[in-house]
Structure formats: C-alpha cells, structure tokens
Amino acid sequence: MSTLHRVPLEDGHLTYRDEGNGPLVVLLHGGLLDHRMWTPQLATLPARYRVVAPDARGHGDSTNAAAPFRHTDDVAALLRHLDAGPAVLVGVSMGAGTATDTALEHPELVRAVVVSGAGTSEPEFTDGWTHENLAAFWAALLGGDLPGALKLWNNFTIGPDRSATDLDPAIPALIAEMTAKTLMKHTADEPDWSRHPEDTWARAAKLALPVLAVIGGADSPDHRANAERLADGVPGGRKAVVADAAHYPNLEHPAVFDTLVSEFVDGLD
C-alpha cells in the first residue's frame, strides 16, 4: 500500500502521495475532492515520472485552515519541502486554477502547466446550467441536505448533455465518496479562509511557459471556455479535446489523458 506523507504548514499539514522517479509532475485535484481523483494516473505515470499528488488544504487528509491562506502558497511550500523541480503542474477544476496561480506567484517552481475544467482561480461563469447547479448545490448543503448536495455536485461529473448511464458508475461513486469526506471535515458556519491572487487573467496572458488545456467535450460550456481561454491567451498554448468526457477526463478516459500529459511533458525542453 502506498504511503501518505505530510508536509508541515504553520497551522497544520498537507498530506500527499509521492511515487516514482524522473521529471516532477504534480497532480492537483478538483474542489471538494482529494488525491484519489488521480487514482488511474498514480497507477501509471510513476513508471515515467516522479508523481506527487497532494490533498489541498481543507480536503481529504490535509488539515483545515485556521486563518487566511492561498492554495498556490501551499503548493509552493510542498515543492520547497520536496526540494525538487521545477514541476509540471497538472490540475483539474480548482486544481487547474491553483496550477496557473502557482505559475504566476511562484514562477521559479513551475516548468509547465496542464489545465482542465478551469483556467485560473477566477473562473467566469456565464451559462445558466453552471449557475443553477452551483446555486442549488450550495442551497442543499447549507440546508443540511447532504445527499441532495452530493447528487447536484455529481451533475458536473456527468455534464449538461448526458445522463448517469453514459459513464462508469464507479466514477460518480468515487466523486461522491471524496466529496462527502471533505464536506464532513467542515461546518456550515465555518469561515472560508481561502484566498486567491488577483488580476489572474491579465497576468496569465504574459506567462512565458508551456500550457496545455485538456478539454472535456461533454463538460459544461463555462468550464470548457475557461480552459480554452487560458490556452488561447498564452503564446504557444495548446488544446486537446477528449470528446466523450465531462469534468474529469482523467477518470473517464485515463489512457487518453495519460498520453496527452506524457507527450506534453516529454516534449518540454
């Protein structure tokens, strides 16, 4: 069984997996999830790379925040603790925003960025489907309806134009398990201590490092647009579409996702 490691923080710790040898690849999970989102990649990518997969602050087995913090600074603390890198940061959803933020705030630690489902930590949502599902999710959660909230959150796993029968039931089950674990770490009246850098979109347009956006073709229009915007706004940014996947292409089509990431990493100078 793989070992979970800890990196100390001023007010707690981050838990992370550290597997394999070679170029450093850091996998950053989506909001409310944990490192298990990367289970397929943790079984394959360490044969080629050193793969590190942390639980973000307040998620999984990492401690909750007790004061204002930024996920990007936690990633930087982890990389400095490892004394390795610069790293290729691979992020989905919240993790994608953290990856870009880290390239902006701590550029010496980042070699390249792969994003999916987001572009920076300042997503812009304009389509009704995303707004309605997010609003309903938070209403259910704050109303104490955890099963209802989990069902609504799972809509992002499925995508706006598919049904649950369109994907392996093990995927929404895993998403629900991780989400429930993270939600149970918190209380409804707990402050949201997370902060993020400002003016990220304008700053991201000046990034001078390789960027790949992996886009789930069945993801919501907003999530696709945010990832595309980052790739289109960065000189030399690249895009790849996994047509039959929604918000978690790494889980729906792990072999395709792994190939895209491996070709990108292996092609870096």
Which amino acid is located at 5 in the chain? H
Q: In what order do the strands lie in the sheet with 12-19?
A: 4-9, 12-19, 50-54, 24-28, 87-92, 110-116, 211-216, 238-242
**What percent of the chain is predicted at pLDDT more than 70?**
100
Which range marks the domain in which residue 151 is found?
Answer: 128-183
Q: Could you give the number of structural domains in the chain?
A: 2
Instruction: Look at residue 188 and tell me if it is in a domain.
Output: no
Measured at the CA of 256, the angle between CA 250 and CA 258, to 5 degrees, comes to: 65
Give yes or no for residue 47 having a pLDDT over 60. yes
* Residue 96 pLDDT greater than 90, yes or no: yes
CB atoms within 10 A of CB 23: 19
pLDDT in tens, 155-170: 999 999 999 999 999 9
Is residue 179 located within the same domain as residue 211? no
> How far, in Å, CA of 215 to CA of 230, rounded?
12
pLDDT confidence of residue 48: 97
Domain limit, last residue, from 142, 162, 183: 183
Is the pLDDT score of 86 beyond 70? yes
Strands 87-92 and 24-28: parallel
For residue range 106-136, list pLDDT tens digits in order.
999 999 999 999 999 999 999 899 999 999 9
C-alpha dist (Å) from residue 88 to 108, 112, 209, 224: 12, 5, 10, 21
Alpha helices, H only, 31-109: 39-44, 71-82, 94-105
C-alpha 72/C-alpha 175 separation (Å) is: 23
Same domain (yes/no): 237, 211: yes
Task: Specify the pLDDT at position 154.
Answer: 94
Residue 155 token pair: 């809509």
Cis peptide leading into residue 86 (ω within 30°) = yes
Instruction: Assess whether 43 and 84 both reside in one domain.
Output: yes
Would you state the pLDDT for residue 3? 86
The pLDDT, as a whole number, for residue 113 is 98
Structure confidence at residue 169 (pLDDT): 96
Q: Residue 46 is part of a domain; what is its CATH number?
A: 3.40.50.1820
- Asked if residues 151 and 117 have their Cβ atoms less than 8 Å apart, the reply is no
Residue 174 lies in a domain: yes
Q: Quote the pLDDT of residue 170.
A: 97
Ramachandran assignment for 110, one of left (phi > 0), alpha (psi -120 to 50 degrees), beta (any other):
beta
Instruction: Give the C-alpha separation, 220 to 223, whole Å.
Output: 5
Q: Residue 1 pLDDT > 60, yes or no?
A: no
Q: Residue 188 — pLDDT band, cuts 50, 70, 90?
A: confident
Q: Do 112 and 202 belong to one domain?
A: yes
d(CA 117, CA 95): 9
Instruction: Please check whether residues 232 and 155 belong to one and the same domain.
Output: no
Question: 269 pLDDT band (50/70/90 cuts)?
Answer: confident
Average pLDDT over residues 141-151: 92
Q: Looking at the domain assignment, is residue 15 inside a domain?
A: yes
Residue 40 has pLDDT above 70, yes or no: yes
Quick: pLDDT tens for 189-206.
Answer: 899 999 999 999 999 999
Kindly provide the b/e burial profile for residues 225-259, where b requires at least 16 CB atoms within 10 angstroms of the residue's own CB: bbbbbbbebbeebeebebebbbbbbbbbbbebbbe
Is the separation of the CB atoms in 227 and 90 below 8 Å?
A: no
251 touches 37 (CB < 8 A): yes
Per-position b or e across 138-155, b if 16+ CB within 10 A of its CB: eebbeeeeeeebbbbbbb
Q: Is residue 47 part of a domain?
A: yes
